[in-house]
Amino acid sequence: MRKRSILLLAGVVALVGSLVIGPAATAGPERTAAGTVVLIHDQEPPNLQNNWVGNGTLATAYVLNNIWYGGQIRDANAKWALRNFASKPKLIKTNPQTVQITFAKNAQWSDGKPMTGADFKATWQASVNPANNVNDRSGYSSIKSVTAKGKSAIVVYKTPYADWENNVSLGVYPAHIINGKNMNDMFLNSIPVSSGPWKFDSWQKGVQISVSRNTKFKVGPQMKLDRVVWKYILDTNARFQAIKANEGQATESQAQLQVADFLNNKSYSVHAGAGYSFEHIDVQFGPKGHPALKQRFVRQALISGINRAQIASTLYKTIYPGLKPLQSTVFFPVDKQYYKPNYQKWSFNQQKVISLLKGGGCTGGPDKPSAGNSNIFSCPGTGKLSFRFFTTTGNQLRALTFEIMQKQLKSVGIEILPRFETSGTLFGTTRPSRDWDLMMFGFSSSPSWSSAALTPEYACGGDDNEMTYCNRQVTAAFAKVERTLDATQRAQIANAAEAKYMVNDVATIPLFAKPFYVIGTTKLKGVGWNPTSEGYPWNVSGWSYTS
């Protein structure tokens, strides 16, 4: 099995050089004990403050989703499922938009305190407090008032907010813990209470986070397991070897070539899918980024010089055959009725890259694409087209993707230089610093992406717009999307803004709707894939393990 992985990887590496020119369409191991399951993950949270500046990672969400448990969560079909709420949120008035939520009678915190409407109110106040370093205030910033009474709360919005159900269904903080406290200093390394199936136990930095059954959880079945351990292993080969050695019983993996080793192995179950997650390259528009990236023709040259179709068909053909380039950043292919291939305009065209750059007055590059080219273009007032390219370390398929793109771009006179960092550094320090040129990473979301996340990511001054892209027409369109309650109308507005403005701006470079794989030993029952950012522990209460 090990040899097969190495050979497969070597085979793809050997192909890298041939993918430059061509047609466009081508710590000590955690010991498993009775009642304990170890989950292997590739990224360690920088801290436990999810949705705080410097931390919006999926690794953090996977730990916290079952601690700050939602009133509703997304199930394996991306549909709403009741959890801490007694019933679905009610839209009781449209002008002004008014919503009622009610926590279940037996919804409580792990210290025995009941969950109440005051918890939602405290969470809203913490989220909009300008003194708090919140990463994304979407939804909360649209709320005018919250009136809490017992188990219920009445939420009144300033203006219509399309994603209201998601907004009120998110997990809340405990009012009796956070009121009067400096939230910027809280929950960095530990969490004292939980409203979900598990509670925080301990964190051995650089190794693992341990959580255990919350015996005060009453709104659904308690975990059958005593403990779940998140073990962090950065190296791709080491992660898969840990699963084979039973140092971990399950992992949710990004696409990696080693997945092929498990597909036909009867000792493991493999669940795969591409849902609400996408791999992409962000471009830095701010003052710390390379000045050439502020030129539209340079960004257009970049996307034209990357053979996205060829990368997908080559690197993913064994583990996820049929993967196509993502042609939108406002909808996912799973959103079949709304997804439009807006970025299809930018097909792989190396001669067009050279024409664009020469047309912009750039000199010093090649006259025609060549695999052996070493001449890099320089452009007036911006200098040599040599860009710092950031991504996460330890991810072999990302490293191969970079290597292919590096060779493709160099063949047309553009240089990208590798800057690989741990996820904690990349997302906790580098991304918010805006001191980077290009950054490849993935976004994971939910069906509410198009109605809630577009403004934070792409609007001028958006909370999570760390690339500082700013197009006033796009900003106005996405603000309208947030206020439009009809889903079809929202889709029309979002697609029109992307097709007319974002595609020409090349605000970002979409790569693929990102496939994920949940791999587990067959002795672990109940594990499956969830297409949203809830992740595979969404139903952890139903897991059982026979060691």
Please provide the DSSP assignment of 32-74 as one string.
Answer: P-TTEEEEEES---S-S-TTBTTB--HHHHHHHTTTS--SEEE
Contact 213, 226 (CB under 8 A): yes
Residue showing tokens 């009121």: 179
Domain 1-8+36-43+197-274+516-547 has CATH 3.40.190.10: yes
**Closest listed residue to residue 350, CA positions, set 10, 20, 15:** 20
Cα distances (angstroms) measured from residue 505 to each of 185, 225, 278, 462, 470? 39, 50, 19, 17, 10
Decide if pLDDT at 11 tops 80. Answer: no
Decide if pLDDT at 92 tops 60. Answer: yes
The helix/strand count (H/E) of the chain reads as 17, 20
CA-only gyration radius of the chain, Å: 24
As given in the structure block, the two tokens for residue 227 are 């403990």
The contacts of residue 131 (CB under 8 Å, 6+ apart) are 184
As given in the structure block, the two tokens for residue 258 are 């080693």
| Residues 370, 373, 375: CA angle, nearest 5 degrees | 130
- Across the chain, what does the average pLDDT equal? 91
Decide if pLDDT at 27 tops 80. Answer: no
The pTM of the whole model exceeds 0.85: no
Return the bridge partners of 279, or none: 442, 512
- Lowest-confidence segment of 50-54, 62-66, 355-359, 388-392 by average pLDDT: 50-54
The contacts of residue 348 (CB under 8 Å, 6+ apart) are 23, 24, 304, 305, 306, 307, 308, 309, 310
Decide if pLDDT at 28 tops 80. Answer: no
Q: What is the mean pLDDT of residues 353-376?
A: 97
The contacts of residue 336 (CB under 8 Å, 6+ apart) are none
What is the CATH number that goes with domain 68-192?
3.90.76.10
Coil vs helix vs strand at 431: helix
The phi-psi region of residue 417 (left if phi > 0; otherwise alpha if psi is between -120 and 50; otherwise beta) is: beta
pLDDT tens digits, 310-344: 999 888 888 888 899 999 999 999 899 999 999 99
Decide if pLDDT at 230 tops 70. Answer: yes
What is the CATH number that goes with domain 281-514?
3.10.105.10
- Lowest-confidence segment of 167-181, 280-294, 345-359, 437-451 by average pLDDT: 437-451
pLDDT tens digits, 423-449: 889 998 999 999 999 999 998 888 877
Q: Which residue has the higher pLDDT, 434 or 533?
A: 434
Q: Say whether the peptide bond before residue 510 is cis (omega within 30 degrees of 0).
A: no
pLDDT tens digits, 458-517: 999 998 999 999 999 999 999 999 999 999 999 999 999 999 999 999 989 999 998 889
Decide if pLDDT at 56 tops 80. Answer: no
pLDDT for res 516? 85
Q: What is the mean pLDDT of residues 266-272?
A: 92
Contact 255, 319 (CB under 8 A): yes
What is the distance, to the nearest Å, from the Cα of residue 200 to the centroid of all Cα atoms in its chain?
A: 23
Decide if pLDDT at 44 tops 70. Answer: yes
Burial of 99: CB neighbours in 10 Å, binned 0-12, 13-18, 19+: buried
Decide if pLDDT at 53 tops 60. Answer: yes
- Which ranges in the chain are annotated with CATH 3.90.76.10? 68-192
**Closest listed residue to residue 144, CA positions, set 93, 89, 98:** 98
Residues 19, 284: Cα–Cα separation, whole Å: 27
- Which ranges in the chain are annotated with CATH 3.10.105.10? 281-514
Element holding 128 (H helix, E strand)? helix 117-128
Contact 250, 526 (CB under 8 A): no
Binned at pLDDT 50, 70 and 90, residue 34 comes out as low
pLDDT tens digits, 184-221: 999 999 999 999 999 999 999 999 999 999 999 999 99
